[in-house]
Structure formats: structure tokens, C-alpha cells
Amino acid sequence: MIRVLIADDSAFMRMVLSNLFNKQPDFEVLDTAQNGKEAFEKTLKLKPDLVTMDINMPVMDGLEALAHIMKDCPTAVVMCSSLTKEGADATLKALSSGAVDFINKSGGSIMRIDNIEEEILSKCRGAANARIPGAVRRVITSTAAANPAPTGEHRKRDLSSFTTMAKPSFITSWRKPVQEEIPSRSSSNLVSSGGKNKLVVLGTSTGGPKALQSVVPMLPKNLPCGVLIVQHMPPGFTKSLAERLDELSEISVQEAKNHDLIEPGHVYIAPGNYHMVVAQGTKGREVELNQEPPLGTLRPAADVLFKSVASLGPDIVSVILTGMGQDGAVGMQDIKKHGGYIIAEAESTCVVYGMPKAVVDLGIADEVLPLQKVAAAIVKAVGH
């Protein structure tokens, strides 16, 4: 049973979320809080498995309450954020300060909660089982909570309308854990650099924003190749993520734009709601963005990016970091078949050991490393 504390200054929101959780067999609402001070005090007293925390609250806001909770009683926290520039920036700060994930409150409040019920439940189940440094973990016996679906039970991938620019002839049915075929758009048209111009591709999800702060700022500004990143996030939030990482890094970081030329010493983050692939342009490799159907519920998806570069073989250094689900495993199998290099984050530092585990279980990772060693491994692999 996942024991939840709901913190929100809106009585309507407290009621809506309470009703949602109370309908589930694996959740128990312990209490609610009207402001951050109450949330902090009740977290200390009740020791919930999970706190849902609104950002904008009186007396003490969600960010300050989060800081107190992570200092005095580390607990899994899922933030509730509005889709505004200020909301996105605050969310990124919260994720950097220890929040596991966030719920996007479109328009500032969840007025149509039925549209995002599965997202809320999936993120909260995942967060309740996340690795929180310093937290005293309680065994959660609920089957649904202990084995959360990556994005609810609807991870099946509808690829019927996914237009492919090119599909390599070697594609076969994949073995477990992921068996669906992921199409490749532009990979067969890419020009291999013969090892002289590598490309780094990276995928991550839950826990990713904080993990990326341990990797991207450690990359040198003279890295001789470009880096492409897929972070599962909705529109608006990826721009704030890119800006935050750019402020922290010597290497240049930006939200990717369609037809960006991929330059050395530059990091390109896929914008929310767009798949990102790599194509061969007249001046070199470039970014292509599209809104082909989501893979399950994911757009962007790491598998789409990885498949698009697989034919570059030894030129590719691919990285998978913390996240729920299995996104990236299929694409990395393709990269491995072509001789690319694969780095997976170790379980010991993952917030959620899902995406890296899927790769490690396939036996295709060249290195399995704690987060603090990933950046150095990328630099070394690029130099080989």
C-alpha cells in the first residue's frame, strides 16, 4: 500500500487527488496539507511513502517545503506544476533539489483529471518505489506499486502510421524485454565518418533532469562531437532544462530545432512532443524533428533517436540513464549490432532502475557505471 500525503492550497485539488487515490487498491491517503509548512510538519509526523506537492502555496511554498523534507525526512515527492515559464523553471529547480517527478497541471489546475489519471498514477507508483538517498524504505507489497507499468498499462506501441524514410533490411523481431519493431527514418542515408567524427546519443526519464546535471556539465567545451539527448518531458519543460544545463556547463546546450546542424561541443535536447532523429544534410549531420505517433505514450522517445543513428556503427556512443520503462533498449540493440558503444547507468545511482536495467538485462552494455563516472566514460569512448 502506498501511503500518500497531498499538499495543495486548493480545496478542489485536494479533493480531486484524494478521490483519485482512494479509488485505487494500492493507495491510501493519509492526510492533506494546505501549505508547505503543513506539508513539512505532516511529513515528519506521518512519514508517508509519497508526497504530492503543489509549487505555489501560501505560508511556505512547495520548493521550500521540499528542501526541508529532503533535509530532515527524505521522502519521495512528486511536484504539481503549471505549464508556464515560471512553472517550468520552478519544476526544474524542484527536480534538482530531490523531487522524483512532476505532474503537469495544464492551465494552472487539473480541471480534466480524467485526461491524465493514468499519468498521475503511473508517476506516483514509480516515485513511491524510487531510490531516495537517506530515506528509510518501507516494503510496498502492492503488485501494482511494486511493478509499475512504464506509463500505465498502455505501453503498447502503435506504429501503424509511423512513416519511415528508410528501413534497414536486417531488422528482425527483437527478443525480450521489448519486442516491438521501432522504425528508422534516416539512418541508412547517414554518412559514416570512419571514426573521425563520433556522435553521442543519450536517453533518460524519471530522475533524468538531476542526473543530467551530473553528466552534461562535466563534458568539456572542446568535445569533438555533438551530443543528442532525449529526456521524457512535455513541451515547455525541455526548454527550461536546456537553459539550466547551459548555465551550468562549459559545453553549449540548447533545445533542438528542426534542421540544426550537429556541431562539435554542442548538446541538443529533444523538445517535448517531438521525436528527434538524425539525418544527413548538405553540410553534415543535422537534427530532424517530427510528430510521428508516440511510442506508447512517449514523444520524444529514445528508441526513435537511437534507431536513426544505428547504421553509423562505431561512430556512435550511446548512453542510457535513470528512468521508468524500457525506452531505448530496442534502439541500443540496433546500435550494438552495428558496432556502437553502449554505456548504462548502474542501479546503485539510478532513481528508477528501469531503462538501464532493460539494456543491462539484454547483455549489450559495454560499461555499467555509477552516474559520477558516466561523463568521463563518454569522453574516453569519444576519443577512441
Q: Which of 205, 240, 249, 308 is catalytic?
A: 205
Q: What is the pLDDT of residues 245-289, one digit of tens each?
A: 999 999 999 999 999 999 999 999 999 999 999 999 999 999 999
Supply the pLDDT for residue 105. Answer: 72
Q: Where are the domains of the chain?
A: 2-146, 187-383
User: Is the predicted pLDDT of residue 5 greater than 50, yes or no?
Assistant: yes
Q: Is 31 a residue of the active site?
A: no
Q: State the catalytic residue, choosing from 101, 303, 327, 334.
A: 327
Please give the Cα distance from 36 to 52 (Å, whole number).
11
pTM to 2 decimal places: 0.84
Residue of higher predicted confidence among 236 and 332: 332
Q: Decide: 171 and 52 in contact? Cβ < 8 Å.
A: no
Topology given in CATH for the domain delimited by 187-383: Rossmann fold (3.40.50)
Decide if 2-146 and 187-383 have a common fold. Answer: yes
The residue with greater pLDDT, 161 or 122, is: 122
Task: Give the model confidence (pLDDT) of 174-218 as tens digits.
Answer: 233 333 444 444 444 565 554 458 999 999 999 999 999 999 999
Task: Decide if 26 is catalytic.
Answer: no
Residue of 9, 232, 275, 311 marked active site: 232
Look at the block and give the residue holding cell 548502474: 346
> For residue 253, which phi and psi values (nearest 5 degrees)?
-125, 135
The architecture of the domain spanning 2-146 is 3-Layer(aba) Sandwich (3.40)
pLDDT tens digits for range 7-55: 999 999 899 999 999 999 999 999 999 999 999 999 999 999 999 999 9
Tell me whether residue 338 is one of the annotated catalytic residues. Answer: no
The strand pair at 285-290 and 275-280 is best described as antiparallel
- Phi and psi at 118, nearest 5°, equal -65, -40
Q: Rounded to an integer, what distance in angstroms lies between the CA atom of residue 270 and that of residue 143?
A: 34
Could you count the other beta carbons within 10 Å of the beta carbon of residue 60?
19
